């Protein structure tokens, strides 16, 4: 079961997006478990999650697609070129660069999606988390005044 809660003040609710990287063939349960852990680390639940992002060559990855479907969110994918402006803000890996064409995936994907959704410079929430098959980074979206 996916933990959810109802915010008391929806206008002030924290919204985040998750940038996800994964090994080919990753299991949806592994990615979901990592995402929930990342959210819980910051006192958040899936109710705070506004979007998912990954790199373009993962757009058909079954585990990521299953996660998006389970959460009712779209998986937004970015090319290595679209992620380039965010690379200076994170530590990349030669292995990730060789596999994806991008030195890092989770952090720049989260930042790119948050900026796309918010229109302002994005801010990463804490450090990237990882397990044996995936990485997850969260980025904040500025709260909107809906009153």
Question: Mean pLDDT, to the nearest integer, of 7-12?
Answer: 43
- Predicted confidence band at 10 (pLDDT cuts at 50, 70, 90)? very low
Residue 8 lies in a domain: no
Statement: residue 15 has pLDDT above 90: yes
- Predicted confidence band at 9 (pLDDT cuts at 50, 70, 90)? very low
Statement: residue 79 has pLDDT above 70: yes
Residue 7 lies in a domain: no
Statement: residue 146 has pLDDT above 60: no
Q: Are 25 and 60 in contact (CB under 8 A)?
A: no
In angstroms, how far is CA 133 from the centroid of its own chain? 15
For the chain, how many structural domains are there in total?
Answer: 1
Residue 70 lies in a domain: yes
Q: In the chain, what is the straight-line distance between the N-terminal and C-terminal CA atoms, in Å?
A: 32
- Predicted confidence band at 101 (pLDDT cuts at 50, 70, 90)? low
Residue 82 lies in a domain: yes
Residue 108 lies in a domain: yes
Sole residue written with tokens 């720049």: 108
The boundaries of the domain holding residue 78 are 15-141
Q: Are 24 and 105 in contact (CB under 8 A)?
A: no
- H/E stretch holding 38 reads helix 28-41
Question: Mean pLDDT, to the nearest integer, of 25-53?
Answer: 96
Angle between helices 28-41 and 62-71 (to 10 degrees): 50
Residue 4 lies in a domain: no
Residue 124 lies in a domain: yes
pLDDT of residue 20: 97
Chain length of the chain: 147
CATH number for the domain including 44? 3.30.420.180
Beta-ladder partners of 36: none
Sequential DSSP letters for 73-117: --EEEE-HHHHGGGGGGS---HHHHHHHSSS-SHHHHHHHHHHHH
- H/E stretch holding 64 reads helix 62-71
Statement: residue 100 has pLDDT above 90: no
């Amino acid at each position: 079961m996916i933990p959810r809660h109802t915010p008391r003040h929806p206008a002030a609710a924290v919204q985040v997006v998750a940038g996800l990287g994964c090994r080919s063939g990753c299991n949806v349960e592994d990615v979901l478990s990592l995402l929930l852990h990342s959210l819980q680390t910051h006192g958040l639940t899936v109710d705070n999650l506004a979007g998912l992002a990954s790199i373009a060559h993962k757009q058909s990855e079954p585990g990521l697609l299953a996660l998006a479907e389970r959460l009712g969110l779209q998986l937004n994918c970015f090319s290595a070129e679209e992620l380039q402006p965010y690379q200076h803000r994170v530590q990349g890996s030669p292995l990730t660069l060789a596999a994806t064409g991008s030195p890092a995936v989770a952090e720049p994907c989260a930042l790119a999606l948050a900026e796309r959704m918010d229109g302002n410079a994005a801010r990463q929430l804490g450090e990237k988390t990882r397990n044996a098959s995936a990485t997850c980074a969260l980025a904040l979206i500025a709260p909107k005044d809906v009153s």
